Amino acid sequence: MQRRRFAIVLLSFVFLLTIFFPSSSSAAATDVPAPQATLLTQVQPLGEVVSAVVLKYSTNIDGASLSTSSFQVQSVLNDVYTDRTVTGVYTNDTGAITNRSTHGKFVVIELDTQDKNASTLTYDATSAVNRINMLNYNISQKKDIATSKKTVIPASAQTVKATDKITPIVDDFQKNTFENKEGFKLNYFTFEPKVEPGKTYPLVVFLHGNGERGDGNGVNLLANAGAVTWASPEQQAKHPSFVIAPQSPIDLEHKFIWADEPRNSAVADLVRETALKYPIDTNRIYIVGISQGAMGTWRLLEKNLDLFAAGVPIAGLTNYEKAVNMYAPVEPTHVEVLKNVPIWAFHAADDTTVSPKNSQEMVAAIKAQNGNLIHFTEYEAGIIKPTGHFSWVPALQNQDMIEWLFAQKK
The DSSP annotation for 201-268 comes to EEEEEEE--GGG--SS--HHHHSSSSHHHHHSHHHHHHS--EEEEEE----TT-SSTTTSTTHHHHHH
- Of 130, 147, 166, the residue that ends a domain is 166
Same domain, 288 and 397: yes
- Which is nearest to 384 in space by CA: 399, 403, 397? 397
User: What was the pLDDT predicted at 251?
Assistant: 77
Is residue 10, in this structure, part of any structural domain at all?
Answer: no
Same domain, 235 and 151: no
- Which is nearest to 391 in space by CA: 381, 376, 379? 379
- Of 166, 198, 225, the residue that ends a domain is 166
d(CA 144, CA 260): 60
Q: What residues make up the domain containing 141?
A: 27-166
d(CA 97, CA 41): 10
Is residue 14, in this structure, part of any structural domain at all?
Answer: no
The pLDDT tens digits for 321-372 are: 888 889 999 999 999 999 999 999 999 999 999 999 999 999 999 999 999 9
The pLDDT tens digits for 16-71 are: 444 444 444 444 455 789 999 999 999 999 999 999 999 999 999 999 999 999 99
d(CA 36, CA 399): 39
Q: Is the distance from CB of 108 to CB of 71 less than 8 angstroms?
A: no
Same domain, 110 and 127: yes
Same domain, 188 and 285: yes
CATH number, residue 127: 2.60.40.2180
Q: Is the distance from CB of 41 to CB of 133 less than 8 angstroms?
A: no
Same domain, 192 and 162: no
Same domain, 227 and 83: no
Same domain, 184 and 157: no
Same domain, 216 and 270: yes
The pLDDT tens digits for 176-214 are: 999 999 999 999 999 999 999 999 999 999 999 999 999
Q: How confident is the model at residue 81 (pLDDT cuts 50, 70, 90)?
A: very high
H or E, element range at 140:
strand 137-141
- Of 121, 137, 166, the residue that ends a domain is 166
List C-alpha distances in Å: 49 to 149, 247, 388: 35, 21, 22
Please list the alpha-helical segments (H only) found in 21-72: 24-29
Same domain, 32 and 52: yes
- List, as one string, the DSSP characters of 271-290: HHHHHHHTTEEEEEEEEEEE
Is residue 205, in this structure, part of any structural domain at all?
Answer: yes
Is residue 19, in this structure, part of any structural domain at all?
Answer: no
Same domain, 270 and 334: yes
Say what the pTM is: 0.90
CATH number, residue 356: 3.40.50.1820
Helix, coil or strand: residue 297 = helix
Is residue 3, in this structure, part of any structural domain at all?
Answer: no
Same domain, 356 and 225: yes
Q: Is the distance from CB of 358 to CB of 256 less than 8 angstroms?
A: no
Is residue 5, in this structure, part of any structural domain at all?
Answer: no
**Count of the separate structural domains present in the chain:** 2
Same domain, 159 and 181: no
